[in-house]
């Protein structure tokens, strides 16, 4: 079984055929899918989609969606206590977007506190902002989570692991030009890795230009197995267990297999 820890099935790209997308995931042994919010509207959609299709939801605010008024952050607390909400995310820092950096940092810190208060793990997005992301996480103290769509080097990965975080990769590790990223995959123990599609984005090599979807997750698992010179079963089992340990710890008994 596979766990897609980062999908955007709540995005308009899946509006017309979501049931068949979920069905194809199931046929490809992707039994658990986390639907990740990026703003108020997509948080609401994430909860709806997760409830309707027996998936999991994360509520957050992507740094590029931060509006002028930080106190108006989407009402995460008001959307709880749906027991399918298992994480706060995605949150983080993205210095490729035009939003003021200090506002991003304030919002990120805010969310880390919210996550701590709720006892939920976090899903962290970081782009061109590794140092400040690490700094905020270190300052926040004990907060669990995953650094999603990792694109840093081995040194950064080691620092992220020291924090107790998991690291997840998308199928961009299958792109020909990304040999450096494959070296990073090789260096991280399977016990600390998670799988994600980040769909509809990041389709695997061979499907570039198409909409990505959870059914393609085994292609990423196979790529990781090849890099680590092991079999896909081991990658599936370890990453699945890692995902449950991070996101479903208190909910294992409620876990619904598709
Ligand atoms: Zn995402």
Number of domains in the chain: 1
Pair of tokens at residue 127: 């782009």
In which residue are the tokens 């997840």 written?
Answer: 168
Averaged pLDDT of the chain: 91
State the pLDDT confidence band at 166, using cuts at 50, 70 and 90: very high
What proportion of the chain, given as a percentage, has pLDDT over 90? 83
Q: Are 10 and 34 in contact (CB under 8 A)?
A: no
Distance 156 CA to ligand 1 centre (A): 20
Distance 148 CA to ligand 1 centre (A): 8
Residue 210 pLDDT greater than 70, yes or no: yes
> In the sheet that 85-94 helps form, which strands lie side by side, from edge to edge?
2-7, 30-36, 56-59, 85-94, 122-127, 145-147, 166-169, 193-195
Count Cβ atoms below 10 Å from residue 71 Cβ, excluding itself: 5
Coil, strand or helix: which one is 146?
strand
Residue 176 maps to a domain: yes
Distance 8 CA to ligand 1 centre (A): 7
Q: 226: domain CATH number? A: 3.20.20.140
Residue 246 pLDDT greater than 70, yes or no: yes
Residue 45 maps to a domain: no
**What's the DSSP call for residue 18?**
H
* Closest C-alpha among 66, 67, 74, 26 to residue 46: 74
pLDDT at 80: 61
Q: What is the DSSP string of 83-119?
A: TTEEEEEEEEEETTSSS-HHHHHHHHHHHHHHHHHHT
What proportion of the chain, given as a percentage, has pLDDT over 70? 91
Instruction: For residue range 56-90, list pLDDT tens digits in order.
Output: 999 998 998 887 555 445 566 666 666 789 999 99
Distance in angstroms (rounded) separating the CA atoms of residues 146 and 160: 9
Distance 89 CA to ligand 1 centre (A): 9
pLDDT at 253: 39
In which residue are the tokens 């059914």 written?
Answer: 215
> What average pLDDT does this structure show over 103-115?
93
Q: Where are the beta strands (DSSP E) in 81-218?
A: 85-94, 122-127, 145-147, 166-169, 193-195
Q: Are 195 and 204 in contact (CB under 8 A)?
A: no
CA angle 148, 151, 154 (to 5 degrees): 105
pLDDT at 204: 97
User: Dihedral angle at the C-alpha atoms of 134, 73, 90, 1, nearest 10 degrees?
Assistant: 140
Distance 249 CA to ligand 1 centre (A): 22
Distance 230 CA to ligand 1 centre (A): 28
Residue 47 maps to a domain: no
Q: Which pTM value belongs to this model?
A: 0.93
Residue 148 maps to a domain: yes
Most confident of 58-62, 86-90, 107-111, 230-234: 230-234
Distance 62 CA to ligand 1 centre (A): 8
Instruction: For residue range 118-165, list pLDDT tens digits in order.
Output: 899 999 999 999 999 999 999 998 999 999 999 999 999 999 999 999
Residue 44 maps to a domain: no
Distance 186 CA to ligand 1 centre (A): 23
Expressed as residue numbers, the domain containing 244 is: 2-38+53-254
Residue 46 maps to a domain: no
Distance in angstroms (rounded) separating the CA atoms of residues 75 and 43: 9
Residue 20 maps to a domain: yes
Distance 12 CA to ligand 1 centre (A): 14
Residue 48 maps to a domain: no
| Sign, CA torsion 178/180/186/191 | negative
State the pLDDT confidence band at 256, using cuts at 50, 70 and 90: very low
Distance 139 CA to ligand 1 centre (A): 24
Distance 198 CA to ligand 1 centre (A): 5
Distance 90 CA to ligand 1 centre (A): 7
Distance 6 CA to ligand 1 centre (A): 6
* Closest C-alpha among 172, 178, 169 to residue 239: 169
Distance 227 CA to ligand 1 centre (A): 24
Distance 97 CA to ligand 1 centre (A): 15
Distance 258 CA to ligand 1 centre (A): 23
Distance 200 CA to ligand 1 centre (A): 9
């Amino acid at each position: 079984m596979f766990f897609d820890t980062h999908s955007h099935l709540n995005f308009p790209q899946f509006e017309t055929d979501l049931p068949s997308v979920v069905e194809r995931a199931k046929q490809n042994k992707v039994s658990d899918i986390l639907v990740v919010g990026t703003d108020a509207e997509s948080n609401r959609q994430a909860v709806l989609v997760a409830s309707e299709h027996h998936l999991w939801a994360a509520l957050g605010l992507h740094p590029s969606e931060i509006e002028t008024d930080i106190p108006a952050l989407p009402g995460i607390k008001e959307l709880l206590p749906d027991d399918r909400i298992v994480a706060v995310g995605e949150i983080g820092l993205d210095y490729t977007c035009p939003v003021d950096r200090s506002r991003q940092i304030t919002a990120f810190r805010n969310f880390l506190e919210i996550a701590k208060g709720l006892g939920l793990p976090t899903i962290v997005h970081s782009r061109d902002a590794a140092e400040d992301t690490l700094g905020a996480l270190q300052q926040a103290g004990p907060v669990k989570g995953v650094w999603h769509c990792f694109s840093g080097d081995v040194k950064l990965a080691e620092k992220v692991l020291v924090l107790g975080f998991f690291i997840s990769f998308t199928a961009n590790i299958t792109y020909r030009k990304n040999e450096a990223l494959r070296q990073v995959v090789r260096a991280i123990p399977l016990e600390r890795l998670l799988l994600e599609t980040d769909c509809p984005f990041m389709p695997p090599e061979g499907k570039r230009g198409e909409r990505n979807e959870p059914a393609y997750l085994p292609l990423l698992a196979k790529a990781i197995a090849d890099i680590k010179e092991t079999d896909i079963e081991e990658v599936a089992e370890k990453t699945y267990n890692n995902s449950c340990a991070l996101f479903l710890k208190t909910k294992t008994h409620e876990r619904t297999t598709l």
